[in-house]
Structure 1
């Protein structure tokens, strides 16, 4: 496994744990929520380099998707 894919896997693990704990959801359900999200598709695309961000930042994007139906990412 190359380094980018490994970083994505670690991010996914962190996100599922955060979703499960913060939303008080079963781990398997949290995993399904993430895998069915737009965020997961963007995270899996190595060209977005989203895997380089902090788990807290990416989790915030996931929360935006849940709340607004899409990812809300402010441009600097």
Structure 2
């Protein structure tokens, strides 16, 4: 992962963690666990998907769908 991509992934991750805490009342360790163990995070970290150039809100919507359905669609 190059530095620019890493910077973008970290920024999105920070925002998504904040959304999880705000919307679901998760504590920080729970929010971190939910996101880092998700298929969404795996896709975000994969340069081939291009997900890292999308908005934080868009990535969060993907994560919410994954959490609701139990898998990434």
Give your verdict on TM over 0.5: yes
2:30 is the alignment partner of 1:17: no
Residue 38 of structure 1 is matched in structure 2 by 39
Query: 2: distance between equivalents of 1:34 and 1:4?
Result: 18
Residue 72 of structure 2 is matched in structure 1 by 71
Question: Over the residues paired in the alignment, what is the CA RMSD in angstroms?
Answer: 1.1
Residue 7 of structure 2 is matched in structure 1 by 6
Query: 1: distance between equivalents of 2:39 and 2:3?
Result: 23
Note the residue ranges of structure 2 that are not aligned, 5 or more in a row. Answer: none
**1:31-67 alpha-carbon deviations (Å, 9 max, x no partner):** 1100110111001111111011111111010010011
Runs of 4+ aligned structure 1 residues displaced above 2 Å come to: none
Normalised by the length of structure 2, the TM-score is 0.91
